[in-house]
Amino acid sequence: MKEGMKKTVCVFCGSSYGSKPAYTAAATELGELLAKKNYGLVYGGGTTGLMGTVAKAVSSNGGYVHGIIPSALVTKERADESKIEEINKEVMQGVSNHKGTTFIAENYGKTTIVSDMHTRKKMMGQEADGGFVAMPGGYGTLEEVMEVTTWSQLGIHQKPIILFNIDGFYDKFITFLEEVVFNGFISETHKDIVHIATTAEEVIEKLEMYVAPEGRFNLDWSSQ
């Protein structure tokens, strides 16, 4: 942990860039702001896509970065610097990519290689004393943010959980969650476990002002 650092925030996001330059721009802005506010970053360890963007933004601004990646994904979510520069040019032209093919780059903070996805998520969750932020991503991102939300509902933790709704990316998902509440599968109280932010500044504000809602389960996990 870096001296003077407040807390470490876990960011879930895609190892691809997505179809809009706004996603990359917001990831860069969030990374820069985390470093400026003295927050560390723990993330999935990739150098491609939004993962690499937010990690490099934190690291290049003097912030602490810890990437945790399963060994099987190193060749899928890591790329060398020359590849990353090519991908950055492509994404600005709207080209889809997911091309990490080589060794671990050195300027994305420290990296821990683990054996499997469960270990990755456990370590990320343990280090993230500052909370969790979900930027745009695919199945993995949705699974990760829903798992830590369930952990909060069950009383395993009371850390902030923020959806970074860049350019309306999560609008339909938020509507779906409202439908789940309406149909009685999530209580009105538990709906407030997840907070929504639309700018990097709002992400930081929500992290700092977050209060876990009352009425969550209070299960004893000490013997687990």
The more confidently predicted of residues 116 and 200 is 200
Query: Six-digit token pair at 58?
Result: 């934190």
CB 142 within 8 A of CB 111: no
pLDDT in tens, 42-79: 999 988 899 999 999 999 999 999 999 888 777 555 55
For the entire predicted model, the pTM comes to 0.85
N-term to C-term CA, the chain: 27
Fold of 8-209: Rossmann fold (3.40.50)
Where do the structural domains in the chain lie, given as residue ranges?
8-209
Residues 6+ away with beta carbon under 8 Å from 200: 26, 29, 30, 32, 33, 164
**Confidence (pLDDT) at 177:** 96
Specify the range with the lowest mean pLDDT, choosing from 17-26, 61-70, 91-100, 103-112: 91-100
**Confidence bin at 105 (pLDDT 50/70/90):** low
Please list the alpha-helical segments (H only) found in 71-170.
Answer: 74-77, 81-91, 117-127, 139-154
3-state secondary structure of 43: strand
3-state secondary structure of 130: coil
